[in-house]
Amino acid sequence: MPVDARSDQGSITVFVAVIATALVMVAGMAYDGGQVIATHSEARSVAQKAARAGAQQIDLDTLREAGSIALDPAAAQAAAEAYLNAAGATGTVRVEGATVTVTVTLTAAMRILPVADRSITVTHTATATDATIGAP
């Protein structure tokens, strides 16, 4: 029985469609995965910089009167929050003693991958402690 050459018609179209879909998915994983990694890095950086900005706020009155270095909690809170606002990030700031803890939340949109939730939220916490406070 001879093989009919017409029976293979359209098989290359299905192959190309499957391969094209697979390539788009791989490109999506590369691009969207890179965006997620970049957002993690940005959240970490913003949290660390905001915590550092808060930890640099010393109480000048205590320094002038007693000659000792102490963190100004209100100024530390305000400086860290101002940094978050300037960076366009949302987060929380907690000041306890000489420690400023900042938690930052950023969102990375998924542009290529067809996932149900089209964005990923990244949260990172950084703590800065003024080591000179309380040192002799």
Beta-bridge mates of residue 92:
103
pTM to 2 decimal places: 0.72
Buried b (16+ CB within 10 A) or exposed e, 76-110: bbbbbbebbeebebebebebeebbbbbbbebebeb
**pLDDT tens, per residue, the chain with 136 residues:** 455 556 666 677 888 888 998 898 888 888 888 888 888 888 889 999 998 899 889 888 887 888 877 889 999 999 999 999 999 988 999 998 888 899 998 888 777 877 655 556 677 777 777 565 544 4
| Residue ranges per structural domain of the chain | 5-129
Instruction: Give the pLDDT confidence score for residue 76 in this predicted structure.
Output: 92
Q: Which helix (H) or strand (E) holds 101?
A: strand 99-109
Placement of tokens 């305000």 in the chain: 78
Instruction: Give the pLDDT confidence score for residue 109 in this predicted structure.
Output: 79
Q: Which helix (H) or strand (E) holds 93?
A: strand 90-96
Alpha carbons 4 and 7: distance in angstroms, whole number: 6
